[in-house]
Amino acid sequence: MNRAVFTLAFGAPKYAKFALGLGRSLRLIGDSTRRIVVTDIRRDDWQPAFDEVVYVPRPENPYHAKFRAFDFFDADAALFIDADSLVFRRLDPIWKAFAGQPIGVQGWTISHGDEWHGEISKVLNQTGFSQLNQFNGGLVYYENSAESRLVLDQVEHYRQAYDQTGFNPFRGHVPDETCLSLAMAKTGLGLCVPDRRDYMNTGVGLIGDLRMNIRRAECSFVCRRRELRFVRPYVFHAHLYSQFLVYWKQLKELEKLEAYEKAHPFGWMSPGHKLRRSIERRILKSQGRI
């Protein structure tokens, strides 16, 4: 299957920095899937973080541009990851979990009494559904198929008829998550895997430290979401925590590692490592170990 991981970066320069962090983290972790950035920001350093750069004008509603992957590039399946994300584990289990599904997200089921972009009881009463999937749109899988187009057509329908859904706008825009949730309920298509899979986590409800080290492929924390639990995500979606220094430290570290690769040939050993090897070799010889 021709697969692609893609992200969007429109407008302010910070979104390019976010996207480069995502692409570099995918490359560093050794994920082999084709990486694509769709953007209106002209830079000369998109590669090697991304295999392909697709330049397009900034969409009127950038939130919903994530559903237009196959307008931007050719693929059988696409995995959208929000630009302000870092990847700490290879994505193969995510592809495997969603394979054959027209749409795939991670979340949980909500019904009367829950809150999500407004009062869910109101939404269910207006739409006639008994329940909906709640999820974060920072990670969305979909295939290039007739079934997925049925779902995405319904996403567009609900975007245009949003005032009739009972949901509230988000920062003056129509949220993509709510429209996709309604579309999945309407068509009965798509898969919402349990949040406990931790394919993606935003850290919302963080308790204590956000432990993150891109060199060690480590990201873990405790948070209060639907329940209190320990999280070690495949993809960390910074979201509100893009305002934490620890996230920006990882972006800088990834930038430094890319610069190191460009400046040093295969197998290069620093003078410090050579000196250490020389000293430790003498110690090992004196111990009769080599």
Percent pLDDT > 90 in the chain is: 94
Rounded to an integer, what distance in angstroms lies between the CA atom of residue 189 and that of residue 157? 16
Are 169 and 131 a contacting pair, CB within 8 Å?
Answer: no
Q: What is the pLDDT of residues 222-234, one digit of tens each?
A: 999 889 999 999 9
Tokens linked to 104: 């795939």
CA 216, 222, 225, 229 torsion-angle sign: positive
Judge contact between 106 and 192, C-beta under 8 A.
yes
pLDDT 10s digits, 21-77: 999 999 999 999 999 999 999 999 999 999 999 999 999 888 899 999 999 999 999
The tokens 């050579």 sit on which residue? 274
Exposed e or buried b per residue across 175-187, where buried means at least 16 C-beta atoms within 10 angstroms of its C-beta: bbbbbbbbbbbbb
> What domains appear along the chain, each with residue ranges and CATH number?
3-263 (3.90.550.10)
Kindly write down the DSSP assignment for every residue of 183-206, as one continuous string: HHHHH---EEEEGGG-SEE--TTE
**Which whole number is the average pLDDT over 190-207?**
96
In this predicted structure, what is the pLDDT of residue 19? 98
CB atoms within 10 A of CB 84: 25
Per-residue pLDDT, 172: 85
Mean pLDDT of the chain: 96
Quote the pLDDT of residue 81.
98
Confidence category of residue 101, pLDDT binned at 50, 70, 90 = very high
Exposure string for 236-268, b = 16+ CB within 10 A, e = fewer? bbbbebbeeeebeebbebbbeebeeeeeeeeee
